[in-house]
């Protein structure tokens, strides 16, 4: 690792949007920690691509829903690599269910990873960033957190909670020049949308004014901007990347 490179950590970076973000930040000169929870093989594939492209990074396995693991890993980074300059809270799950059929363990899992995991990581990163008096934290929410969606009440609650959390923390950290923002993707072509039937895809496309699904790069390019000095006067904002699906 080149010691002078600023450090970025991307949670849930073994595939999809998270992988795209990790690759983009590495291209922009960050030493990127690629977080994963269980699929080390997929995370290593991302790291291999990153290094082949001339980037710098490392794998960092931990469960964001376990606060002790989060604190331990952030402490290790600080002591061995330096302070985290950019945190992207991308890790998330969704267990779709109508409210009356929702299982408690599915609700707990969704809130623990999608909301509490982001809170744990934000808290750990904020301690380092406040000492440095600089930093950018980017939360990956969802259009569902803004508009709601039948069958996704737990997921929507977590992603909406992330928005309220971000606005509060942005006010707390602004005096130390730490910025906190939300990116809210709409439907993006990933493994998840790939599992939809043609009929389902067509129905969704009817709700998107631009008429097509986004790509992971549409998200990662915005994240890269928010991670850079070019966005130095932006904090506490929710930026939708959804093709006009929600305005």
User: Per DSSP, which regions of the chain are E strands?
Assistant: 7-10, 31-36, 56-61, 84-89, 135-140, 178-185, 238-241
Tokens of 54: 């001339």
Place of tokens 């002078």: 4
Supply φ then ψ for residue 31, to 5 degrees. -85, 115
Taking the C-alpha atoms of residue 130 and residue 69, their distance in angstroms, rounded to an integer, is 21
Supply φ then ψ for residue 92, to 5 degrees. -170, 155
Residue of 36, 155, 233, 246 marked catalytic? 155
Q: Among candidates 6, 16, 7, which has minimal Cα distance to 36?
A: 16
Residue 233 annotated among the catalytic residues of the structure: no
CB 44: neighbour CB atoms within 10 A?
14
- Give the catalytic positions in this structure: 155
């Amino acid at each position: 690792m080149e010691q002078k490179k600023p450090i970025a950590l991307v949670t849930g970076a073994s595939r999809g949007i998270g992988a795209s973000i990790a690759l983009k930040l590495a291209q922009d000169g960050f030493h990127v920690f690629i977080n994963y929870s269980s699929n080390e093989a997929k995370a290593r594939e991302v790291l291999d691509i990153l290094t082949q492209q001339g980037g710098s990074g490392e794998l960092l396995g931990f469960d964001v829903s376990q606060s002790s693991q989060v604190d331990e890993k952030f402490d290790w980074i600080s002591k061995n690599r330096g302070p985290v300059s950019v945190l992207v809270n991308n890790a998330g799950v969704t267990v779709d269910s109508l409210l009356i059929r929702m299982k408690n363990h599915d609700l707990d899992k969704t809130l623990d990873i999608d909301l509490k995991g982001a809170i744990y990581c934000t808290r750990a990163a904020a301690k380092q960033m406040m000492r440095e008096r600089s930093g950018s934290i980017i939360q990956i929410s969802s259009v569902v957190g803004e508009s709601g969606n039948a069958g996704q009440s737990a997921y929507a609650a977590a992603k909406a909670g992330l928005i309220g959390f971000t606005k509060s923390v942005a006010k707390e950290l602004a005096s130390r020049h730490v910025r906190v923002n939300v990116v809210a993707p709409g439907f993006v072509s990933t493994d998840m949308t790939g599992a939809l039937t043609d009929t389902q895809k067509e129905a969704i496309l009817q709700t998107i004014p631009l008429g097509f699904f986004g790509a992971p790069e549409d998200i990662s390019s915005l994240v890269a901007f928010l991670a850079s000095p070019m966005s130095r006067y932006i904090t506490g904002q929710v930026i939708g990347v959804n093709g006009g699906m929600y305005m």
